[in-house]
Chain A
């Protein structure tokens, strides 16, 4: 099975900061990588699919990049509503897997 490693597991940032989260699968997954945002008590929300495609309705401050074994989610200017936990997920294999999550907290 493909293992997904996210880093950092948590970070503190201020409103307006540029934030970068990394996801590394245990093997190459081409561009079959999705990013989700989850707020406490809520279901996750799809932000980015296929590594770099912005899901409809998601603000353009979110972007994704990468391929193979190295992926990045970037929030260009952190907003108050962006404090949440972010997960990557691979869909290269039919045995889907999520990363461990990155909690973005207020500094």
Chain B
């Protein structure tokens, strides 16, 4: 069965960076795009970007351009999302989420459990 297991909660100071990992299992990691979506407390879903695990190609939401980097390690079927220059309004649950369609962007059918990132001085 498809599983996405994210790394644990993080507490960071403003200006720092955070790197969240997402280990995939139960499917061919390189065949499906991986999205990152965040949700601030009491707020809606915000798409951050995706990575094509096969090529390493990425697409980022304009809001996060220059601050987010998505990478992957195919040898261990793991995707990473690094967000830099953290601010208090980056406090959120960060989800990795697999696209439902082979080698395309079409919607999300599997989600990680979420990683809470708290930014506080």
**A residues with CB within 8 A of B:** 1, 32, 34, 36, 38, 43-44, 46, 49-50, 55, 85, 87, 89, 91, 94-101
* Assembled-state Cα–Cα distance A95/B58 (Å): 10
Rounded to whole angstroms, the CA-CA distance of A94 and B106 in the bound complex is 9
Given A89-B107, A100-B44, 16 new contacts (CB under 8 A): A1-B61, A1-B62, A43-B113, A46-B108, A46-B109, A85-B44, A87-B44, A87-B45, A89-B47, A91-B107, A94-B50, A94-B105, A95-B59, A95-B62, A96-B47, A99-B44
The interface on chain B, measured as residues whose beta carbon lies within 8 A of the other chain's beta carbons, has a size of: 22
Q: Is the CB of A96 within 8 A of B35?
A: yes
Interface residues of B (CB under 8 A from A): 35, 37, 44-47, 50, 59, 61-62, 95, 97, 100, 105-109, 111-114
Give the distance in Å from the alpha carbon of A67 to the alpha carbon of B68 in the complex.
Answer: 32
Give B38 Cβ to nearest chain A Cβ, in Å.
11
Q: Would you call the interface of chain A mostly helix, strand, loop, or mixed?
A: loop
- With a 10 A CB-CB cut-off, give which of B97, B107, B114 has the most chain A CB atoms: B107
CB distance from A7 to the nearest CB of B (A): 14
Nearest Cβ on chain A to B41's Cβ, whole angstroms: 11
> A49 and B45: CB pair below 8 A?
no
* B61 and A95 contact, CB distance less than 8 A: yes
- Please give, as numbers and ranges, the residues of chain A lying within 8 Å of B50 by CB-CB distance: 94, 96
Complex: how many Å from CA A99 to CA B47?
Answer: 10
Q: Which of A46, A55, A95, A101 contacts B45 (CB 8 A)?
A: A101
Closest residue of B by beta carbon distance from A98: B45
Does A38 contact B100, Cβ atoms closer than 8 Å?
Answer: no
Q: Residues of B contacting A91 with CB < 8 Å?
A: 105-107
CA gap between A38 and B100 in the complex, in Å: 17
Question: Bound state CA distance, A101 and B112, in angstroms?
Answer: 20
Task: Give A23 Cβ to nearest chain B Cβ, in Å.
Answer: 13
Provide 29 A-B residue pairs closer than 8 Å at the C-beta atoms, listed in order of the A residue. A1-B61, A1-B62, A34-B106, A36-B45, A38-B45, A43-B95, A43-B97, A43-B112, A43-B114, A44-B45, A44-B108, A46-B107, A49-B100, A49-B107, A50-B106, A85-B44, A87-B44, A89-B47, A89-B107, A91-B107, A94-B50, A94-B59, A96-B47, A96-B50, A97-B47, A97-B61, A98-B45, A99-B44, A100-B44
